Amino acid sequence: MRIDLDQRAALLAEAPDVYYVTDHYLSLSDGPCPNVSLFTRDALRDLLAGADRFVSSKKKNKPR
């Protein structure tokens, strides 16, 4: 899943025991969602919704 960097940073700051990013993805400008070590249904639902919004906004802004 892809989310924007601000969302990724917020997740990492909010729950560092749950979300983490491997070194490979730290430098990517539109990196993937952090890896998840443990999650609830609500967290997964929110993550999927955020990823959907991110991808949808990219499609809207893509030149035809």
* Owner of token pair 């999927």: 48
Across 6-10, 19-23, 36-40, 45-49, least confident range: 36-40
Contact between 2 and 59 under an 8 Å Cβ cutoff? The reply is no
Q: What does the alpha-carbon distance between residue 12 and residue 34 come to, in Å, rounded to a whole number?
A: 7
Give me the percent of the chain exceeding a pLDDT of 70. 66
For residue 23, what pLDDT is reported? 74
Task: Give mean pLDDT, residues 18-33.
Answer: 68
Q: Is 58 left (phi over 0), alpha (psi -120 to 50) or beta?
A: alpha
pTM over 0.85: no
Residue 19's beta-bridge partner residues?
36
Q: Over 60: is that where the pLDDT of 3 sits? A: yes
